[in-house]
Structures are given as structure tokens and as C-alpha cells.
Structure 1
Amino acid sequence: MVVCVCNALRERDVREVARNGAQSACQAYRALGCQAKCGQCVPFARAIIAEERAAA
């Protein structure tokens, strides 16, 4: 699933960086070499990161 249309980020990418230590949406975007543009994806990215942190 696409999380961020502006940066073409997929859910699997966000999950991977969350597993590798990203604790916020900003950290995840930086780890993926981009930044949020319109911001509509940030709540979804936060939810994905929270899921991954809870599962760890």
C-alpha cells in the first residue's frame, strides 16, 4: 500500500525503517531520504510506526 503519494513511499518501507529504529514519522522520512510534503500521510506513518514498536 502507498503511504505517501508525494514521495512514493510504500507501507513496507515505513515498516522497515521503524523496525530499524525510526521512532517518529520525521525519523522515518529522513531514513528514507525524503520529507513529508503535504502532510496527509503523517498520521498513517505514525500508526505504522506505533504498530511496529508495539510488536517489537
Structure 2
Amino acid sequence: MIVCVCNAIRESEVREAARNGASCPTSAYRCFGRKPRCGQCFSFAREIIAAERAA
């Protein structure tokens, strides 16, 4: 599933970034050399990161 349309970032990539230490969408996107743009994806990305960090 696509999380960020602007950067074509998938849920699996956000999960991977969270497992590697990303604590917020900005740091997760930075793992892939991308920057947030419109910000519409932040709430979903935060949920994914929180779920991965809790697991």
C-alpha cells in the first residue's frame, strides 16, 4: 500500500525505516533520501511507525 503519494513511499518501506530507528515520518522519509511534501500522509505514517515500534 502506498503511504505517501508525493514520494511513492510504501507501507513496507515506512515499517522498515521504523525498525531501523525512524521515530517520525520525516526521519523515515529521510532514510530513503526523500523529504515530506504536502504532509497528508503524516497521520498514517505515524500510526505505522508507532505500531512497528510497539512490536
Q: Which range, TM-score by smaller chain?
A: over 0.9
Unmatched 5+ stretches in structure 2: none
Q: Once superposed, what is the RMSD of the aligned Cα atoms?
A: 0.6
Unmatched 5+ stretches in structure 1: none
| Alignment size in residue pairs | 55
**TM-score normalised to structure 2 length:** 0.95
CA distance in 2, matches of 1:32, 1:46: 16
Instruction: Give, in angstroms, the shift of residue 13 of structure 1.
Output: 0.3
Instruction: Identify the residue that residue 20 of structure 2 maps to in structure 1.
Output: 20
Q: Amino acid of the residue matched to residue 49 of structure 1?
A: I
CA distance in 1, matches of 2:38, 2:23: 20
Instruction: Identify the residue that residue 31 of structure 1 maps to in structure 2.
Output: 31
